[in-house]
Amino acid sequence: MNVTFRCPHCDQIGQAEFDPATRELACPNCPAKWPVCEGAVAGDELRQCLVCPSTELYIRKDFSQTLGVAIVALGFVISSVFWYYRMPLWTYGVLFATALIDVVLYLVVGNLLQCYRCQAQYRGVAGLAHHGGFDLETHEKHRQQKIRLAEQAAEQEQARGTDQRASSV
């Protein structure tokens, strides 16, 4: 089992192997290490994120979303060109071929587990049935929390700057 994550200390992408006996996770790019919560991994099943304390994880396909959108957009553009030249059979052929590629990729590509909060991705984890698919409400909750924390940090930084200017006068 492995995890791909953005290090909370150096902000670099890292990858680490883990198993049920893992008690500490380390960033391969910096000396940062943090403990893994007790019970986060039970057998081969992941119950909570190893990078952050979140228990909200979801299943998604292990495929680049950018590449998927690019395939669909390319199929649309090519079919539009055929449509412009009044070639409906080629137009529909390209659209059906694009749909067929999408179905084949859906069937062939495996799943991964992703954390809503820190976006860590877990591969090779068993027990995915205990986790659901993507939920927009949960995603939005974590997105809004991230924005509020960033605003709060900016306000605190601004307050510190105001205090320093006042003390130097």
Place of tokens 């659901």: 132
Are 89 and 83 in contact, with CB atoms under 8 Å apart?
no
Q: Is the pLDDT of residue 43 over 80?
A: no
Question: CB neighbours of 121 closer than 8 A, spacing ≥ 6?
Answer: 3, 4, 5, 62, 112, 113, 114, 115
Q: Is the pLDDT of residue 24 over 70?
A: yes
Question: CB neighbours of 79 closer than 8 A, spacing ≥ 6?
Answer: 90, 91, 92, 94, 95, 98
Q: Is the pLDDT of residue 47 over 80?
A: yes
The tokens for 22 are 């893992």
**How confident is the model at residue 169, as a pLDDT?**
61
pTM higher than 0.85, yes or no? no
**How far is C-alpha 161 from the geometric centre of its chain's CA atoms?**
35
The tokens for 89 are 């059979």
